[in-house]
Chains A and B, each alone.
Chain A
Amino acid sequence: MDRMSKISYIHDLLTKKQMSCEEITKKYLEAIDNHNKELNAYITVTKDTALESAKRIDKKISLGEDISMIAGIPMTMKDNISTKGILTSCASKMLSNYVPIYNATVFDLLNDNGSILLGKTNMDEFAMGSTSETSYYGATSNPHNLDCVPGGSSGGGAAAVAGNIAVYALGSDTGGSIRQPASFCGVVGFKPTYGTVSRYGLVAFASSLDQIGPITTSVEDASIVYDVISEYDPKDSTSRGRNQEITFKLLKNSIKGKKIGIVDDFFEYTNENIKGHVEQAIKVYESIGAEIVHIKMSSIKYALPVYYILACAEASSNLGRYDGIRYGYRTPKYRNIDEMICKTRDEGFGKEVKHRILLGTYVLSSGYCDEYYKKAQKMRSIIIDDFKEAFKLCDALIAPTAPKTAFTKNYISEDPMEAYANDVCTVPVNIAGLPAISLPCGSDKDGLPIGIQIIGNRFCDGEVLNIAYAYEQETKNTSFKSVDMGVRL
């Protein structure tokens, strides 16, 4: 099958009655049975509800009712997106028994459109990490090489999509957690403009940076899913909804004359092989009529410390709610309330989460707040202004998604700074609340995928998708290496 849009391909199969939704769903469930042991992409598989939903879609089709584009498409969600009656663990011992009593808005929107939830996917604990190794449920593997990490924190979703055990996944992106695993697994990951997709029901890590978005095998699919989930939501106080009517309609627009900017600072830590591939992609853009402009952004080099100060500060506050009293894990032995809370948090949180809570507490504590937190907020303003200036000179920026390809498991766990530096190309986007997409542009000598990133101005999500789509159409299958596992339709 042509990989370009799996969603429209399956939609056609269903509406032309070539396959039933139940048959397709069963294929995916069977593939999960066969491959989840090696990938560890799923924490929970929702077999029964998936089959029930599939039967409902088949009934609709048999009655001749119209179905939405995503109706009957088997998908998965990261385990930090609330699902009523279904475990939502955040891959943490702290929430290993937590079953929400409400749905995230994105899940309600998907349900209203007839989505088939196959299960909930693995991730770094509380979305803190870029390898999916810090999960309480064990590390996820990269379908391209099982000894390598799939990236993170939405590593389970990216591995499930790349390994063909889900058509698409919803992830969350606080500093690159959708785009970097998409790049490591050779799939498409889209982080929308902050405010366009409701965060209601997304377990909070850093509220001013978190954003939900799709992981898919094509730009077209990312656009289809984004159009469904980007609705204004009164339950999220920072919700705006999307600007354009439907991004899908913009995909086929010509990008002739569009200005694509290159900022050298994004390439600073990038290895030569990846640089070469991004330069190749830039040539493709030139060949289809885009104009390349070089732009200076002196503040980008401060994006990493700004990100870690602000994200940890917000996390230390957001994770204060886990006290073992109202839900989640509670230590079995304690003498007083204070000991109960301290032991619950010590036993319930993993090392990386404790690290970040303590760092956040440090930068917010009296005496250090002016030095770190307030200065980081000021620098955030400078970075935002620099992006505003950059977008006066171009329509979008092009950059690598990650400075390296997928690394071997346990590789970076020893040095926290090296791990953080891996986020250097993705965090500036979250700091400024911009839309950005990662899409495959080839692979390295070991066959591991490389991703390019297209970054757009706020609320120009349609533009970002259109520019990415133009590249994908031009390069077709040359930049994409599919994995020989999972469902073949």
Chain B
Amino acid sequence: MVVTVEDVKKLAKLSKISMNEEELNQLTEDMQKIISFAHEINDACDGEFEFTDINNIINVFRDDIVEESFDRKEILSGVNGGEDGFFAVKKLI
């Protein structure tokens, strides 16, 4: 399995991370090493078998009752209060 700069560029696009050439080259090299290492398990588990429930834990649902949530002002405190009760980004058009 060969990882190319083009592969990493595509991954960066999918992950929404912009990257310069230097970072891309370094990452391609590192990714190649990591992927060939990850490949090890490929040959080891070819056969068919059942999944074990991973943590022996069943998802717990709460009753569907409307409860009080966080205050809008508090939530917007992470972006200096937002604008008119909304999250805001710069005007783009």
- A and B: partners? yes
A interface residues with partner B (beta carbon < 8 Å): 98-99, 101-102, 194-195, 208, 234, 237-240, 302, 304-306, 308-309, 316, 323, 325-328, 334-343, 345-346, 349, 351, 354-355, 357-359, 361-363, 365, 371-372, 375-382, 384-385, 415-417, 420, 433, 458
Question: Shortest beta-carbon distance, B46 to chain A, in Å?
Answer: 9
User: Given A376-B41, A417-B33, A365–B14 Cβ distance below 8 Å?
Assistant: yes
Contact B34 A346 (CB under 8 A): no
Looking at the complex, which one of B11, B27, B45 makes contact with A382 (CB distance below 8 Å)? B45
Contact B35 A362 (CB under 8 A): yes
Summed over the interface, the residue pairs from A and B with CB atoms below 8 Å come to a total of 147
Contact A337 B70 (CB under 8 A): no
Question: Shortest beta-carbon distance, B75 to chain A, in Å?
Answer: 7
Give the nearest-CB partner of B80 in chain A: A97
Contact A372 B55 (CB under 8 A): no
The number of residues on chain B lying at the interface, defined by a beta carbon within 8 Å of a beta carbon of chain A, is: 47
Contact B70 A237 (CB under 8 A): no
Q: Is the interface of A mostly helix, strand, loop or mixed?
A: helix
The CA of A363 and the CA of B31, in the complex, are separated in Å by: 11
B interface residues with partner A (beta carbon < 8 Å): 7-8, 11-12, 14-19, 23, 27, 30-31, 33-35, 37-42, 44-45, 49-52, 54-57, 59-62, 70, 74-75, 77-79, 87, 89-90, 92
Q: Which B residues are in CB contact (< 8 Å) with A334?
A: 90
Contact B79 A326 (CB under 8 A): yes
Contact B54 A208 (CB under 8 A): yes
Contact A327 B57 (CB under 8 A): no
The CA of A469 and the CA of B38, in the complex, are separated in Å by: 37
Contact B51 A355 (CB under 8 A): no
Q: A346-B19, A377-B54, A381-B51 are in contact. List 14 more A-B contacts (CB 8 A).
A: A101-B75, A194-B55, A305-B39, A308-B37, A325-B79, A325-B87, A325-B89, A345-B17, A358-B15, A362-B7, A381-B50, A382-B49, A417-B33, A417-B37
